[in-house]
């Protein structure tokens, strides 16, 4: 009888550990997803800023060149 009791308690401990492991893995996956989302958002923002800077510089150069040509 004690062998069955011991096996039942081991099985209960195993199930508890398995449940904790599932929660830990789920938490880790959520962390990775959040990190990946942050990196994608940061990259998108960086690309957006670069595009805005490029458009600004294009306009500045376009507006500046006629002035330089008129002074020569």
pLDDT in tens, 25-70: 999 999 999 999 999 999 999 999 999 898 888 888 877 766 555 5
Largest CA distance in the chain: 106
Q: Give the separation between CA 17 and CA 38, rounded to whole angstroms.
A: 31
- Taking CA atoms, 17 is separated from 22, 46, 47, in Å, by 9, 43, 45
pTM above 0.85, yes or no: no
């Amino acid at each position: 009888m004690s062998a069955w009791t011991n096996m039942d308690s081991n099985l209960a401990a195993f199930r508890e550990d398995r449940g904790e492991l599932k929660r830990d893995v789920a938490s880790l996956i959520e962390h990775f997803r959040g990190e990946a989302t942050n990196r994608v958002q940061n990259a998108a923002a960086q690309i957006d800023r670069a595009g805005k800077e490029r458009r600004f510089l294009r306009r500045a150069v376009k507006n500046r060149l006629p002035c330089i040509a008129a002074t020569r």
